[in-house]
Amino acid sequence: EVQLQQSGAELVRPGTSVKLSCKVSGDTITAYYMHFVKQRPGQGLEWIGRIDPEDDSTKYAEKFKNKATLTADTSSNTAYLKLSSLTSEDTATYFCTGYYYSGPYYFDYWGQGVMVTVSS
């Protein structure tokens, strides 16, 4: 069974950056497209972007193009989301999710989410 395990909660200063991890177990990460989703407290879900760990190709939502960077390390079966120039607007829970490269193309696997708090 595929499982996604995310890193722990983060308290970070405004203007800095943070790198969140999402480790895949039960299969090789290169078999999956990995996505990240943002959820501000009490708000809806926003798609941030996705990475194909097979070739490191990425795709981002327009509003996150200068905010988020997705990478993957196949040796550790882990995908990463780096958020830069943090502000209070980045305070949120971030989920990783994904699907098998050949489909079906729905988000069946989810990490538990990681809370990022941006505060001085």
Partner 1 sequence: DIQMTQSPSFLSASVGDRVTINCKASQNINKYLDWYQQKLGEAPKLLIYNTNSLHTGIPSRFSGSGSGTDFTLTISSLQPEDVATYFCLQHNSGWTFGGGTKLELK
The distance of closest approach from Cβ of residue 107 to partner 1 in the complex, given in angstroms and rounded to an integer, is 6
Torsion (CA) 55, 61, 64, 65 in degrees, nearest 10: 60
Q: Are 15 and 85 in contact (CB under 8 A)?
A: yes
Residue 75 per-residue DSSP state: T
Which residue is listed with tokens 């941006």?
Answer: 118
Mark residues 56-85: x for contact with partner 1 by CB under 8 A, - for none.
Answer: ---x-xx-----------------------
Q: Are 87 and 106 in contact (CB under 8 A)?
A: no
Binding to partner 1 (CB under 8 A) within 15-44 occurs at 35, 37, 44
Phi first, then psi: what are they for 90, rounded to 5°? -90, -5
From 10-18, 22-30, 80-88, 101-109, give the range in contact with partner 1 by CB under 8 A.
Answer: 101-109
100 binds partner 1 (CB under 8 A): no
Q: Which of 76, 88, 112, 119 binds partner 1 (CB under 8 A)?
A: 112
Residue 14 per-residue DSSP state: T
Residues that bind partner 1 (CB under 8 A): 35, 37, 44-47, 50, 59, 61-62, 95, 97, 104-108, 110-113
